[in-house]
Amino acid sequence: MQNLIISSLDAKNNGEKDELNLIENRKCSKKQMKILEAATRFLAYHYYQQNPEKWLTVFHNQSNFFNSLKRTSRRVKYPTNYERFLKNCFPNISSVELIPWSMPISLTEKQQRIVMQLHRRSDKV
């Protein structure tokens, strides 16, 4: 983690764009990518350290954590997606009571399905 943070701060921001598309043709510089990677890995580490049981219950692994961030950003990026997300998904997600993160978690079967929607591909949003 420390090396990733240091390398992101040390990366040159020469405006050169990398070929990695973050979301729908949005390209960013190598420095921006390093900073984004460091920030998301730090978030993953922080949430795991704060409540490992909840982390494993909700995300199972880092890949699912990153996928949930990507999917959430897609869901709220465009006004129509955002409205649909608020109407169809948000009430279900908020019913799981993930916040505050420090609280223990105990999920019903229905709540487990809702949590899986956070990091599962969905054509509907």
What long-range pairs does 21-25 form, CB within 8 A, spacing at least 24?
A: 23/70, 23/73, 23/74, 23/77, 24/74, 24/77
Q: Is the pLDDT of residue 7 over 60?
A: no
pTM recorded for the entire structure: 0.66
Phi, psi of 124 (to 5 degrees): -85, -20
pLDDT category, 20, cuts 50, 70, 90? Answer: very low
pLDDT at 105 over 70: yes
